[in-house]
Amino acid sequence: MFKTIPDFFKRRLPARNETLLVLSLAAFLVFSWSLRTLFYQAPAFILSYNLWEILSIAAYMLAFALLETLLATLFTVVLAVILPAVLFRDGFACKASFALLAAAAISIHLQFVMTNQPKTNFLLLELGRGFALWLVPVLLTRYVGFLRKIVLDVLDRLTIFSYLYLPLGIISLLVVIVRLLW
Amino acid sequence: MNSKFPRRDFLKLMALAPAALAARPLVSALEKARAADAPHILVFVFDAWTAHNLQLHGYPRRTMPNLERFAERCFVYHNHYSTGSFTVPGTASLLTGLYPWTHRAVQLTAGGVAPAHRDHNIFAALAGSHSALGYSQNPYADIFLYQFEKYLDTYLAEGQFNLERRSLSSLPIFKNDAQIAFASFENNIIRNGKGTSGSLFWGMISRLAGLANYAAIRKAHLKQYPTGVPIASGVFLLDDLVDGMTNAIREFDSPTLAYFHVFPPHEPYAPKKEYASLFDDGWVPLEKPTHPLSRARHPWEEILYNRLRYDQYLAAWDAEFARLLDNTLETSGLLDNSIVILTSDHGELFERGEIGHNTFVLSSPVVRVPLLISLPGQSQRTDVHAFTSSVDLLPTIASLVGAPPPAWTEGRLLPGLGGEADPNRAVYSIDAKTASAFSAISQFSISITKQNHRLIHYQYPYYSGFEFYNMEDDPEEMNDLYPSEPALAKQMKDELLQKIEEFNRPYQKK
């Protein structure tokens, strides 16, 4: 058994390089969606706000995206810690990435199709779809080596976005903090 | 002559600086003390309240009997028009006394009135004589209270009387940046209504949590509200809303201008149980053809159903609000020392394929709103049939408390309350929700009303045209007289086009 709490976490936490890959994917998904909404809404903003105000709104959105990215990554790490290692921690980069992708796909789908009075069956079906979206690629990458390599290569290349998105998020967070303290 | 300013004199002058800084609030306090016997001014704005569904104005269903009783001691304006067809422009005009083309809050996303008009508001106009309280349950009206907050002595948050608080931007942490926080969170990051959220995960989690919470609250109040619980930015009960306002009014210790902007009867229409089966009377309103600009094109049965629910909701709200009128204002004697104003920011439409007010169609029910004004101790009813506008409210209120109507207002004194009925006076309403706040307004629905006639002009890339109605003979706007080209239509068209040219002139490129 683990003697201390730090020891417990050390043994249960996923590898750092895998966590960074997941963080990069989370940043890519969350920031891309946030920027998509920002540009989608831009024509409406232009009607009502000046440039500085639009940049301020963008700062709020990107600061929120940064926090959401960190929380999403943290959530997968917590899952890795509390679930049996074979379920999530082993092959963490692939499993957590597919979990985020499945959750993102379901969330986007629901945003377009969900009414304000969703039926429980409908939500359960979406949950089932999300699980299937996670499980199928997890099994494929578990048993097909070259697929796993492709996925890891893609994840590795996605890190380039985090060099752009994460600093953007940090600057935005600072802008928001300054505005709130002003 | 020694031109140097001695150091000692400079220090003496500096010693006076704190006194100078204190002078302004001191003068303001003295003015308020001097006006200690001034009446309270209570402005109640019921969101999306059309004049067309009140028996007071000829509707066959008796939707608001208590209000009619109160009207017996009021000035009742039968032809009162809001300047806009939805909350943002309508509320901005009420609070500033300016038309939408001047205050420029014409889009749903507007973050307030134009900077040039930030000091042009009802609270500023009465700052010398009245303490000010602002409350809006509708976040799109609340944005103006944020903007005018420096003139408010008491600001009540929009979720104050709700069962739950769902808007992130109303959290105290965002107090210094409320407008941008509102635009960011409520309009973009987390949308609980139509459209996608800017937040990929939290947006959906928040929405699902909100729906689950609403379902739980609805279940808990199913007996009381069989068709659903009222909801603004959060769920609320009609009783709580009235109790909240009652408590706020009881706190008045000096002459107060209180602005209460409440959500009922805005959709979702949620009558209480005892009103949810009212008006099973077989009455069927006049069916009107679907308007070319109707996007929703609701079937007639759906329109009838929603109209019925709206009427029931009016009845429920009327009974609840009567508690405030009777138990708080009447019995406490506040009515003898208060100017009470009931009106709306815009109306509601149940015709021509449309339900509600999210429409480009500018038919009368979406802009003609009730206006009732009760003066201190008034016991007689006075009916006014002249055409009036929501921009008239601010100068009239100022005049009623002895303040000069501000020079910047575009309204006039209301007939019967210092003003005269003028049949030639033109009253305008405009919907320009797709227009920019910074440039000429080129796409719009606009109406001019005068001499008992109403001319509506639609100007969009996909539809444009004029409609002309005789409001005396044809209040339902069924018979479009424009094709027969009467002289008055031409005259009003020229006047309207001139007005459009006039308000767009400052934005025309040279």
Q: Could you report the per-residue pLDDT of B442-483, keeping only the tens digit for each? A: 999 999 999 999 999 999 999 999 999 999 999 999 999 999
Q: Which residue has the higher pLDDT, B269 or A182?
A: B269
Mean pLDDT of all residues belonging to chain A: 91
Find out whether B364 and B57 touch, Cβ atoms under 8 Å: no
A34 pLDDT higher than 50: yes
Confidence at A4, pLDDT banded by 50, 70, 90: confident
Q: Which residue has the higher pLDDT, A119 or A143?
A: A143
| Residues of chain B with C-beta less than 8 angstroms from the C-beta of A48 | 107, 109-111, 436-437
A3 pLDDT higher than 70: no
Residue B42 backbone phi and psi in degrees, to 5: -110, 110
Closest approach of A178 to chain B, Cα-based (Å): 10
Residue B468 backbone phi and psi in degrees, to 5: -140, 125
**B371 beta partners:** B77, B343
Q: Which residues of A touch B (CB under 8 A)?
A: 29-30, 33-34, 37-38, 40-41, 44-50, 53, 56-57, 60-61, 64-65, 68, 71-72, 103-104, 107-108, 110-112, 114, 116-118, 123, 176, 179-182
| Residues of chain B with C-beta less than 8 angstroms from the C-beta of A52 | none
Q: Mean pLDDT over residues A109-125, rounded?
A: 85
Q: Mean pLDDT over residues A97-119, rounded?
A: 90
pTM metric for this prediction: 0.86
| Residues of chain A with C-beta less than 8 angstroms from the C-beta of B176 | 179-182
Amino acid at B389: S
Of the options 1.10.10.10, 2.40.320.10, 1.20.1090.10, 3.40.720.10, the CATH number for the domain spanning B40-163+229-416: 3.40.720.10
Residue matched to tokens 């004194």: B413
B383, B385, B386, B391: CA torsion to nearest 10 = 70
Asked whether the beta carbons of residue A48 and residue B211 sit closer than 8 angstroms, the reply is no
How many angstroms separate the first and last alpha carbons of chain A? 51
Asked whether the beta carbons of residue A72 and residue B201 sit closer than 8 angstroms, the reply is yes
Asked whether the beta carbons of residue B180 and residue A46 sit closer than 8 angstroms, the reply is no
pLDDT for B509 equals 72
Half-sphere exposure of A181 (CA within 13 A, CB side): 6
Q: Mean pLDDT over residues A104-122, rounded?
A: 87
> What residue spans define the domains of chain B?
40-163+229-416
Give DSSP secondary structure letters for B346-369: ---EEETTEEES-SS---GGGTB-
| Residues of chain A with C-beta less than 8 angstroms from the C-beta of B199 | 30, 33-34, 64-65, 68
Closest CA to B336 of B375, B377, B372, B381: B377
pLDDT for B13 equals 59
Which pair of tokens denotes residue B190?
């987390």
Taking each continuous run of H as one helix and of E as one strand, the counts in chain B are 12, 14
A50 pLDDT higher than 90: no
Cα B166–chain centre separation: 22
Asked whether the beta carbons of residue B180 and residue A61 sit closer than 8 angstroms, the reply is no
Asked whether the beta carbons of residue B198 and residue A33 sit closer than 8 angstroms, the reply is yes
Q: Exposure of B413 by Cβ count < 10 A (0-12 exposed, 13-18 middle, 19+ buried)?
A: middle
| Residues of chain B with C-beta less than 8 angstroms from the C-beta of A96 | none
B102, B107, B110, B112: CA torsion to nearest 10 = 30
Q: Which of B109, B183, B200 has the CB atom closest to A29's CB atom?
A: B200
Find out whether A141 and A148 touch, Cβ atoms under 8 Å: yes
Asked whether the beta carbons of residue A118 and residue B211 sit closer than 8 angstroms, the reply is yes
CA atoms of B32 and B279, how far apart (whole Å): 48
| Residues of chain A with C-beta less than 8 angstroms from the C-beta of B203 | 107, 111
Angle at B235 between CA B230 and CA B240, to 5 degrees: 80
Q: Which of B111, B184, B211 has the CB atom closest to A116's CB atom?
A: B211
Q: Exposure of B325 by Cβ count < 10 A (0-12 exposed, 13-18 middle, 19+ buried)?
A: buried
CA atoms of B144 and A52, how far apart (whole Å): 20
Q: Which are the contacts of A98, defined by CB distance < 8 A and separation ≥ 6?
A: A133, A134, A137, A138, A141
- Low-confidence residues of chain B: pLDDT under 70: 1-36, 165-166, 192-194, 510
**A66, B424, B429, B477, B491 from B473: Cα distances, Å:** 62, 18, 21, 9, 20
Q: Which of B184, B203, B436 has the CB atom closest to A60's CB atom?
A: B184
**B235 beta partners:** B231
Residue B171 backbone phi and psi in degrees, to 5: -65, 145
CA atoms of B396 and B341, how far apart (whole Å): 11
Closest approach of A152 to chain B, Cα-based (Å): 23
Find out whether B491 and B485 touch, Cβ atoms under 8 Å: no
pLDDT for B26 equals 46
Q: Which of A47, A57, A104 has the CB atom closest to B435's CB atom?
A: A47
CA atoms of B510 and B508, how far apart (whole Å): 6
Closest approach of A30 to chain B, Cα-based (Å): 6
Q: Strand B131-136 to strand B154-156: parallel, antiparallel, or no bridges (unpaired)?
A: parallel
Confidence at A10, pLDDT banded by 50, 70, 90: confident
pLDDT for B23 equals 52
**B468 beta partners:** B455
